[in-house]
Amino acid sequence: MLALGDSLTFGTGASPETSYPTVLARLTGWNVINAGVPGDTSAQALARLPALLQEHAPQLVLVGIGGNDFLRRISDATTRANIQRTCEQALVSGAQVMLIAVPALSAAAVIAGSLSDHPLYEEIADSLRLPLHAKGWSTVLANAALRSDQIHANAQGYEAFARSLADAARAAQLL
């Protein structure tokens, strides 16, 4: 299994042993490759994907990217197109894909503790008929006790996210 993403996938804000891919592997027994790169945009993740697919030939790709696009004010249309192409490439490789929704970030939303998923994730999941892990990051990052800073989880947050993701993957009958 390949976890493609940015700093949230990498585990920024906690130790490598507590990143969500590591916790997910521990919880499920699955071999999870952490392909999270802090600061990555959807375009950068899309560019990295072909080599990752070739190297690891994953059965499942978890696509959780886009937060840096939102922070850098990259257009929703560009972000949507990049994430959709990422999912399509993974599908063409023969892998199953689960899309992970990322919150529509704003400082006011984080401070108020009220986050919601960016709507483009549901649109892409519906368009490609993919399972969507909704509200995972929105729930974790809205809770100050589960964050290491305003945009990253802490060890407890990554644990909570990994548990919800494992439940969603099982419910979607992935792997």
Domains (ranges, CATH) in the chain? 2-171 (3.40.50.1110)
Structure tokens at 60: 């499942």
Nearest to 151 by CA among 34, 62, 72, 87: 72
- CB of 175 within 8 A of CB of 59? yes
Report pLDDT digits (tens) over 46-104: 999 999 999 999 999 999 999 999 999 999 999 999 999 999 999 999 999 999 999 98
Structure tokens at 169: 């993957």
DSSP secondary-structure letter at 79? H
The span from the CA of 153 to the CA of 160, in Å, is: 10
What is the spatial order of strands in the sheet that 96-100 belongs to?
Answer: 33-36, 2-5, 60-64, 96-100, 132-133
pTM to 2 decimal places: 0.94
Q: Which residue has the tokens 């892998």?
A: 95
Report pLDDT digits (tens) over 103-140: 987 655 655 667 899 999 999 999 999 999 999 999 99
- CB of 111 within 8 A of CB of 154? no
